[in-house]
Structure 1
Amino acid sequence: MANPYQKYKDESILSMSQSELLLLCYDEAITSLKKAEIALEDKDYDLFDAAIGKAGKIVRYLTMTLNMEQPLSYELKKLYNYVNFDLGRLYAGRERRKDELPALIQILSDLRDGFREASLIAGNLGTPHESKIVG
């Protein structure tokens, strides 16, 4: 039998708008980078590698889903490519590059906030679903 909490989460994701899904992707990438920061401080390199890997997958997904017919997509692609490049350098250089993590978190946070504002203005974002999920 499936875990009821997991089933609820799956159903929540399936009912999200495109804007909410985009924000969820940003939230997950940002959370992963924050976990990577903590893991690096604790010298938990396995967790660091996993967190950086997850953030990289999310940013690659965001890159692949860009609608290149929109002019903004070219600028977003440059930012996503930069973030992915820097994630690769972080993965390879860990301790030497740990000061770059806050900048990557800030880039993704700024993008998230911008998309959230645009979605609110456009009227296609209601109360975020993440506020309903407990645990």
Structure 2
Amino acid sequence: MIGNPYQKYQQSSVQSAPPGQLLVMLYDGAIRFTKAGIEGIESRNYEKANHNLQKAQAIIHELIASLNFDYPISNNLMQVYEYMLYQLIQSNTYKKAASANEVLGYLMELRESWAKAARVQTDQAGDQHG
């Protein structure tokens, strides 16, 4: 049971968000955890690095699970996600921030693309109802 009002709000936001916005939220989480993992590596707090890079990997696994292979772009995204997973594992294993920084760049670029697509979808839905 969720007692904290902020947690209730967060859960409600996730449950009521349209699919495009959910993807953006996943990217936001992956970006946040990747940044925290990089901070852990740079500060030599390897427990923090490991914990956060694993969380980022878990979100990328969720992104993979959300792919709809009816669309050809899903195959391309799958390859990008697999590469990002590999880079995060490399970063975590060898405690090198460079690999995680590369992933961070890809995550931020993809997040912006999905955010634009979600805005277009919301605008089109608004035009149909207005």
Q: Is the TM value for this pair above 0.5?
A: yes
| Residue 124 of structure 1: how far off its partner (Å) | 5.7
Partner of 2:63: 62
Aligned: 1:116 with 2:108 = no
How far apart in 2 are the matches of 1:26 and 1:15?
17
Residue deviations 1:47-105 (CA, integer Å, cap 9, x gap): 100100000000011011100110110000000000011111112111xx322222110
What is the TM-score when the length of structure 1 is the normalising length? Answer: 0.85
| Residue 39 of structure 1: how far off its partner (Å) | 1.2
Partner of 1:37: 38
Mark the runs of 5 or more structure 2 residues left unpaired by the alignment: 126-130
The percent of aligned pairs where both chains have the same amino acid is: 27
How far apart in 2 are the matches of 1:17 and 1:59?
19
Kept after mapping to 2: 8 A contact 1:19/1:124: no
Mark the runs of 5 or more structure 1 residues left unpaired by the alignment: 127-135
User: What amino acid sits opposite 1:79 in the alignment?
Assistant: V
Secondary structure of 1:123's counterpart equals helix
How far apart in 1 are the matches of 2:89 and 2:124?
33
Partner of 1:15: 16
Partner of 2:128: none
User: What amino acid sits opposite 2:75 in the alignment?
Assistant: Y
Residue deviations 1:23-60 (CA, integer Å, cap 9, x gap): 00000000101111111121111110010000000001
Partner of 1:6: 7
Kept after mapping to 2: 8 A contact 1:67/1:73: yes
What is the TM-score when the length of structure 2 is the normalising length? Answer: 0.88
